[in-house]
Structure 1
Amino acid sequence: MITIDSHQHFWKYDPVKHSWIGDEMAVIRKDFLPEDLAPVLQENDVQGCVAVQADQTAEETDFLVALSDQHDFIKGVVGWTDLQSPNIEESLSTYSQVPVIKGFRHILQGEQQRDRCLQPSFLKGISLLDKYNFSYDILILQDQLRFIPELVSRFPNQRFVIDHLAKPGIKAGEISSWKKDIQLVAQHENVYCKISGMVTEADLQNWKSEDFIPYIDVVLNAFSTKRVMYGSDWPVCLAGGNYTEVIHIVRSLFRSFTANEQQLFFGKNAIDFYHL
């Protein structure tokens, strides 16, 4: 079975650029590069990955593309470009000449204006992505889920994927409002969901695999196995464990699924969504 990690990051640590790494995550305040990830993927029988932006600069996108040129296990890049720029189409046209760039992401979770994704300048950028065959990763917090049905319904031909289950309140055991909102998003068939980033939403030091099952069940019932994909969120996940522990959460759960369902979740959906 081909396994693709649909969500991980690389960076050269900078205390200003990466100020979002708080004291509770101090273990990841260092460089993380492909030579660090390669043996981990091999050890866990993962054949490739998608590198996702962690900084909102054009230099970040160039950095990830350069790494992919040097390491063939990086099968795709989700970069950043200013979707609100008046020159957005020119940027997308340029990036469309770089085959490894599969899509883009904006760190909506950090925006003071919680409905930034519905502002006219942002919508204009989103409206151009499909023209250049780009996907869009939706990085939000739970409170922003209510804006997503309107966003994705405006662009039914655009491929969207929710990162990290939209970060439900796993540590506090909160599920009801998130469940209602994620189910509404899942009604739109152009939206996928990454089962990723869960351990950092839990109690970092004391989580158990059972903590995640109710949330995974909601996502699987809402999206089906045809629109979900595995992601580690390495190296962020290292704040709450190691890569093997993270992938074990979903591998244990999916043992009861059919071989085809396992292949969809662990590889095929990511390959199809990102055109790897």
Structure 2
Amino acid sequence: MRLDSHQHFWKYNPQKHSWITDDMKVIQRDFLPEDLIPILAEHQIDGCVAVQADESFRETAFLCDLAEEHEQIKAVVGWADLGSDDIDKDLDLFASQKKLKGYREILQSKNVDYMLRKEFIRGIEKIGKRGYTYDILILHTQLEAALQFVKKAPEQPFVIDHIAKPNIKLGIWREWKKEMAPLAERDYIYCKVSGMITEADWKKWTVKELQVYLDVALELFGPKRLMFGSDWPVCKIAGEYEQVLEVIERFTDKLSKTEKEAIMGNTAAEFYGI
């Protein structure tokens, strides 16, 4: 199965989506399944994982509703306030949603202490007991804290979004590799090769400059814990869907058939229970 493990849908609202600044005008509009499904079909991709972009229960409900309507949406990664004292009640709200496979928060915008709070760890444990995964969205500067975080929940399936957003624009990778390595040593942690072109120079990125990051990710995690994600439509800031896909297709062409199939879909299918 070929899967896009990471993309978003939204009905654009300037207030709710204030993170979409004026230099991102290309994505200041609605992006819905009817926009993505033809692209998936064109590239023989069987389905996608819709990931939250707004921190609200309304967002989770919105994505779950879209998943019910479109069979190509194979899984949803929603949002919940994991540190809330009402977390059990909150999780109950969506317990019947079969395509809801995991949760995520925008940790990249929060202080590193946020993910180390005992209330947050309690929430992680609660979603784990219910069989949910957790997407870790962080910047490369938060990797040290992320290591402390995952050590507190060694039974929880985690996936690092966007290879932890290294500074590709400046070509900084050695320190990123050093801090990613202890995370990769833990077999319950996976990684998405996604979101790379938007961490490079939006106007001048090259496949060659991305190669070192892909090689490191493969070295650290192996194909069975790597998954392709387009980060559509955010990727449109720096390139089109087919450009992102081509980067990963070319990267995986050097691997065995089984290894390529893992990165292009089988790993995501296993991780999210698709």
Short-chain TM bin: over 0.9
The match for 1:150 among 148, 151, 165 is 148
RMSD: 0.9
Alignment-mate amino acid for residue 21 of structure 2? G
User: 1:13 — aligned with what?
Assistant: 12
Output one character per residue of 1:82-109: Cα deviation in whole Å (capped at 9) or x when no partner. Answer: 1111010222234232111000000000
1:60 aligns with 2:59: yes
2:3·2:268 contact (CA, 8 Å) conserved in 1? yes
Alignment-mate amino acid for residue 25 of structure 2? A
Partners of 1:142 and 1:115 in 2: CA distance: 15
User: 1:115 — aligned with what?
Assistant: 113
User: 2:220 — aligned with what?
Assistant: 222
User: 1:77 — aligned with what?
Assistant: 76
User: 1:25 — aligned with what?
Assistant: 24
User: 2:95 — aligned with what?
Assistant: 96
Partners of 2:146 and 2:234 in 1: CA distance: 25
2:214·2:251 contact (CA, 8 Å) conserved in 1? no
1:181 aligns with 2:179: yes
User: 1:235 — aligned with what?
Assistant: 233
User: 1:195 — aligned with what?
Assistant: 193
Output one character per residue of 1:19-60: Cα deviation in whole Å (capped at 9) or x when no partner. Answer: 111222211100000000011111111110000000000000
Partners of 2:79 and 2:173 in 1: CA distance: 31
3-state DSSP class of the match of 1:226? Answer: helix
TM-score normalised per structure 1: 0.97
Partners of 2:176 and 2:116 in 1: CA distance: 20
Aligned sequence identity (%): 46
Alignment-mate amino acid for residue 64 of structure 1? L
Contiguous gaps of at least 5 residues in structure 2: none
Partners of 1:151 and 1:226 in 2: CA distance: 23
Per-residue deviation at 1:150?
Answer: 1.8
Partners of 1:32 and 1:202 in 2: CA distance: 23
Output one character per residue of 1:148-176: Cα deviation in whole Å (capped at 9) or x when no partner. Answer: 22221222211000000000000011112
1:159 aligns with 2:144: no
1:153·1:188 contact (CA, 8 Å) conserved in 2? no
User: 2:254 — aligned with what?
Assistant: 256
1:149·1:188 contact (CA, 8 Å) conserved in 2? no
Provide the aligned length of Structure 1 versus Structure 2: 274
TM-score normalised per structure 2: 0.98
Per-residue deviation at 1:124?
Answer: 1.1
Contiguous gaps of at least 5 residues in structure 1: none
3-state DSSP class of the match of 2:13? Answer: coil
Partners of 2:133 and 2:241 in 1: CA distance: 26
Per-residue deviation at 1:129?
Answer: 1.2
